[in-house]
Amino acid sequence: MKLDVTTLASKSAGTVELSETIFGLEPRKDILHRMVRYQLAKRQAGTHKTKGRSEISLTGTRWGKQKGGGTARHGSRRSNIFIGGGRAHGPVVRSHAHKLQRGVRLMAMKHALSAKAGAGELVILDSETMKAPKTTQLKDSLAKLGLTNVLVIGGEKLDENFALAARNLPNVDALPIAGINVYDVLRRHKLVLTKAALEALEARFK
């Protein structure tokens, strides 16, 4: 699969051959769904908490008559049926993360990249280097390329000027190759890979 390479100035920079084993697969929604669930569950804080009966500071002695009161014979004010009582089966602090096999995670990344390539939503950029961290300049450059909602993946280290300029733009994310993930790839309309990022991906999946 061949794809044109462009520059930030919207000029042609040749073509590049994409690997069919990475960018030419038929995307499987079930694999992508499992990976997105895995990522979102892993990032959940899990700090929600309610107090149970044992954590409530209320009397635990019988507070009414055993007989003749006309009500049930309650033995504790900490019961969940009373105002201020403990919550029954309430949420506790825990991790929401679950396991997903490494092979499935690698497969999900390939299917996400293939989905972008197959839908025509993949752009190959020669380099993300900028001379100055000018947000307006980057916005104009991306507009010329037709990129308004985009994830840009750079090489091992993202160009500092580009990162500074991109962080003020809405719907524009910029990550080094180590930060590429299925969720961010899918949630943006376009995926931009630099040539350095492309080489790193091919080396990773070789």
Q: What are the two backbone dihedrals, phi and then psi, of residue 10, each rounded to the nearest 5 degrees?
A: 65, 35
Residue 153's pLDDT band, with cuts at 50, 70 and 90, is very high
What is the pTM for the complete model shown?
0.84
Which residues, 6+ apart, have CB-to-CB distance to 78 below 8 Å? 53, 54, 56, 58, 59, 60, 85, 86
Contact 200, 178 (CB under 8 A): no
| Averaged pLDDT for residues 160-189 | 95
Length of the chain in residues, anyone?
A: 206
Residue 24: its pLDDT value, please? 93
pLDDT at 130: 92
The answer to whether residue 63 scores a pLDDT higher than 90 is: no
Q: Is the pLDDT of residue 66 over 90?
A: no
Domains delineated in the chain: 2-44+97-204 (3.40.1370.10), 50-90 (no CATH)
The confidence band for 105, taking pLDDT boundaries of 50, 70 and 90, is very high
Q: What is the rounded CA–CA span in Å between residue 182 and residue 166?
A: 20
Closest CA to 7 of 180, 136, 184, 195: 195
Higher pLDDT, 64 or 119: 119
**Structure confidence at residue 64 as a pLDDT band (50, 70, 90):** confident
Classify strands 122-125 and 172-175 as parallel, antiparallel or unpaired.
Answer: unpaired
